[in-house]
Structures are given as C-alpha cells and as structure tokens.
Amino acid sequence: MLAISKRGYRLEKKPCRVALPPSKSMANRALVIAALSGKLNEFLKMNPNLQKDSCRDTQLLLHALQNRQDKLFEFRDAGTPFRLFLAYACATFIHSIELHGDASLNQRCVKPLVDALRVCGAEITYLKNEGFPPLQITKGMDHFDFISIDRTQSSQFVSAMLLVAPFFSGNKQISLLGDAHSDSYIQLTIDQMRLAGVDVEIQHSMGNRTSLVGSLSLTHSDNHSDPMAKNITCSSAYTNPLNCKIEGDWSAAVFFYPIAYSALNLDFKAVNRKLKTANTLYLSPLHHQSFQCDANMSEHSKHFGFVTLNASTKHQHRVKIYRQLSNGYSQNPAVDFAQPHHKLSPERTLNPLVFDMVNEPDTVLALLSLCMLKEQSATFKNIDNLQWKESNRILAIQEIANNLNCSFTRDPICDEWFFDANSLVWPEEISIVSHDDHRIVMAFSALSNRIPIVYIDNPHCVEKSFPSYWDQLKNCNFDLVFTQ
C-alpha cells in the first residue's frame, strides 16, 4: 500500500528534473533484431543502459534472448516480450520449449499470432485455454510467404511477424484484418527495420490514389472491416542491426503532464512578477521530434495550457514542459487542496474536448487524469481495445470516475467514450485499485494534486515500465509513505 500527499505548493528556484527509462517499445524491437542477426552482445555493449536502466518488460525479453537454450520461459505479465519472443523462438527453433505467464498474461489473447505462425509451419500447443498462454512450441517456422493477421486486439501480432520476416528468403506479404488500433506501433517496427538495413515498401491505396514509400506494400481501405495488405519484400537479412535507435520512453513521459498540472503558489504575483511559466519539468533523455507516437502528447497537452520545447544540451537530449501563464496566474487555476463538497460551475464542461486515440492507447489514461484535474469533459474515440491491456482499463477508469461522482460512458452507436465532469466532486481521500496495471497507477497518482491523500494498493507494479517512477515523483515534491 502507498499513501501519496502533495507538499505545500511553492515556487521552486529550479525546475524539477525527471530521468526516464529507455523506450521499451523501441528497445524490445531492437533487441529482437540484434538477436536475429547474431549481434545481441555487440548491441548491448553499444547500449549499456539497456541492462542498467531498462524496465522489467525489457529485462524479461533480454533474459529470454540471452538464454535461448532454456526449455521454460517465464514472462510474468509482459505481453509484448511474450509475443515478440514467441515469433522469434519459432523463427530460430532449436528444441521444444514452453512459454508461461502470470494470471494477467494468461488472459491476454495470442491466437491471431499463433494462427499466423502455424501457417508458416510452426507447431504450437495451448497448455490450458485455447487462444491464450501458456503454450508449447514443438516445431518452428519453415517458410514465410503470405499470412493474414487480425490486429483488432493488438498491433503486436503484426510487429512480431514483421520482425522475423527478414530471417526468411523470398517475398513476404502480411494482410491486416479487423479494425485499425495502434498501427503507429507497426510503423515504429518498420522504422527500426529500415534503420537495421531492411528495405520496406508501403503502398497506400485510397480510391485512385497510390503512394509508395520504401519495400512494404500497404493497401488502405476506408472501411475498417476490409483488409489492409502489407507486402514485405526482404532481399536479405538485417544488414545493419546495430543501427537501431533507442530513445527515452515517451510512454512514461506522458504521465508527468498531469503531475505538472498543479496549483500555483497563491502569492505568485507578489513573489515574482517576471516569471511567465509555472510547474516546469525537464524530461530526459527525450527527443521532441520522436519515432514514438506518444510524443503527440505535446500536441494534446496544449488544451491544458502546456508548452513542450526541445531543451537538449551538448551532452543530453531532453525536453522542457511547462504551463503558460496569463497576467501572472495560471490559465487553468486549480485549488490547493480538495474541497469535499465542491460543485463545478456548468461552463467548465459545456465544450468537451475530443481526442482520437487510435494510435496512442498508452496516452489515454494520462489525458483522462488531466481532464479530471482540469475538471474538463472530453470525448475519446477508438479506445475499445483498452479492455485487452494489462487490465480492463475501461472498467478501471469507470471505477475512478464513480469515486469522483462523474462518469465515463460509451456511445452505443459508435466507438466513442464520454468523460462527463459536470458533477465532479473532490473527496478528502481516495483509494486507487491498481488492478496490477502500471499505467493506471502512474496516471491517477497525479490526483494527489487535488486530493489530500491518495492510496494505491500495489505501487510496485510500475516496475513493469518505469522502475524509478516513485523516485522521480519525489523529485516533483510529492510525499510518499509505503506500508505493508
């Protein structure tokens, strides 16, 4: 159990500085590419921070890649490493192995990926429930030509097959079925493959218009139910696997926007009339212009008064985030502490914001936290797949919204969810049920900006993606009390 409280608000002479872990999305893909190319040790020597600073998910994948001769692999709750390693193990088959996970992972479907691997000759057996981990691989892939994958639940099925495609000769084609969700992560996979020397061609076909970029063919239809074909041609294996890029993690950085959204010192104007910004944070190592789709948080956050700037130095990549002020005060003022029976004025929610999150599912919780802090209603599009993450995040959001006397409901006609802040009331304290989900914990720990005490049942689940999260939160002026 963890109890979080915010210290008395005050202006700091120096802005807060946050150290981010390496991007697990980029690192996981780069590690698989290096392992497929027989260059894993060289890649680790070039990127020593991966062994020292990377999150638990990346460490689990790295351990599996380094111990390929083992017969049993345990991935705990790490869905991405499980799926990427599953394809890797089938492509580089040595002997029969089993892949296991905890109760959470065993509820996350892998059937679309297993079906694709079976088409390519792999023999895979589910050890408990059909379509879900744990599973056993008794024979590897013997070819790779044409496959179809339903990516409705996860783009990782496609990424896993893309990464192993250059390991096989001939032309490769992947046809994507189902609604498009998180396709930006497929693009991230393609970006890493191109850096590693693989030619990828993307063909977008919309009506009579066609555009070509690279050697993966991608045919796009306006009808989500129609297939979007990606034809991958690999003339050779990865020719430059050590060239893959690993940035700081934008998926972790997004949670510091709600952390920075806090009340100003009430004597701000008298203290410093010249200061034009408040709640400034430096996030490093981070690029403002990034391969990662979650970097779009810099645009979303403008609705909450934030500015995101490149602040890199000669020795460090970093970005600076702060909130703009007007006439010496915040444009979006917040109270110092909760007012238990506080009722919102109606004008706060007459014009809800609209966010289309089809390519940024990991940013949804951070944006919802900002909406709560600003007392702002909002519509979120294309987020149905949140129910298939580490937990059912839709239900978790509804639990927290109910505790604040507001609501989060789905339009029955279209894929849109509405956060209604009209009746939001700040309690004196709140208990956040983590559901063992790292992103739920990081997103809603920021509510301690408005609620005197926030309790979290399993704070240690943040190790999955951000092991030093609580240390960084202390740097941002939060008091943390851990109990048994």
Which residue in 363, 402, 411 sits closest to 256, CA to CA?
363
CA distance 235 to 219: 21
The string of pLDDT tens digits covering residues 149-164 is 888 888 899 999 999 9
**Structural domain boundaries of the chain?**
2-21+248-482, 24-243
The string of pLDDT tens digits covering residues 307-337 is 999 998 888 899 999 887 654 444 444 443 4
pTM of the model: 0.85
Q: In this structure, what is the dihedral angle of CA atoms 71, 72, 78, 79, given to the nearest 10 degrees?
A: 70
Q: Do domains 2-21+248-482 and 24-243 have the same CATH topology?
A: yes
Which residue in 277, 278, 273 sits closest to 263, CA to CA?
278
The string of pLDDT tens digits covering residues 191-223 is 999 999 988 776 544 433 322 233 343 333 333
> Helix (H, G, I), strand (E, B), or coil: what is residue 16?
strand
Fold of 2-21+248-482: UDP-n-acetylglucosamine1-carboxyvinyl-transferase; Chain (3.65.10)
- Please report how many Cα atoms fall inside a 13 Å half-sphere around the Cα of residue 222, on the Cβ side: 4
β-bridge pairing 216-218 and 209-213: unpaired
* Helix runs in 67-145, H state only: 79-91, 111-119
Report residue 197 as tokens: 């020397």
Report residue 308 as tokens: 């995101």
CA distance 27 to 245: 8
CA distance 233 to 263: 54
Pick the CATH number of 24-243 from 3.30.70.1400, 3.90.1150.10, 3.65.10.10, 3.10.20.90: 3.65.10.10
DSSP string, 306-344: EEEEE---SS---EEEEEEEETTEESS---SS--TT---
Mean pLDDT of 167-182: 79
Report residue 379 as tokens: 């519509």
Report residue 302 as tokens: 């403008």
Confidence of residue 456 (pLDDT cuts 50, 70, 90): very high
The string of pLDDT tens digits covering residues 119-133 is 999 999 999 999 999
Most confidently predicted of 17-26, 202-211, 263-272, 313-322: 17-26
CA 31, 37, 38 angle in degrees (round to 5)? 90
Phi first, then psi: give them for residue 217, nearest 5 degrees.
Answer: -90, 130
Give CA 377 to chain center in angstroms.
23
